[in-house]
Structures are given as C-alpha cells and as structure tokens.
Amino acid sequence: MSQGSYTSQINCKGRNGWFKFHKHQVYSWKIGTASVVLIDVHSKQKGKEAPVVIGGPQDKIIALLELMLAEARKEAS
C-alpha cells in the first residue's frame, strides 16, 4: 500500500490540536553501542519540528510499535 492511499484517513493529535497525517520520517543513529530511533509524524504544514515525535532505544521503539499493532489488530477483530 502506498503512503498516499491512506494518509487522508489518518488523524493525529499534536501540540496544536488535531491534524491529518501527511508523512513520517524515521531516523536512526548509534550512541556508543546503542541504536537510537526517532520517528517524526508530519502534517502538510511545514514547521521547524514535526508535531509528533517518538524517540528512544531501537529495541524499545520496535517493542512499542509491535504492541500498538497487536492492540490495533485486536480492536479491529
């Protein structure tokens, strides 16, 4: 599924209220031996920072995303 086929159906809430999901960006880097991941969720408005940012150790971010996916699938069934 291309990103454009579902973006208009996803709503997010950031520091200034609700917005339509437009795109996301994933960054990763190493700090010593630890991998760190940062996920930015953007609206169409351009700003200095993404309205929603999730960041932390790679294994913790992956665990959080897997938990969210499992819970979303459970709610949908």
Query: Which token pair is 5?
Result: 């086929």
pTM above 0.85, yes or no: no
List Cβ<8 Å contacts ≥24 apart for 21-27. Answer: 25/50
63 vs 29, 31, 68, 71, CA distance in Å? 18, 19, 9, 12
Averaged over 8-21, what is the pLDDT? 89
pLDDT band at 1 (very low <50, low <70, confident <90, very high): very low
Whole-angstrom distance, CA of residue 21 vs CA of residue 3: 10
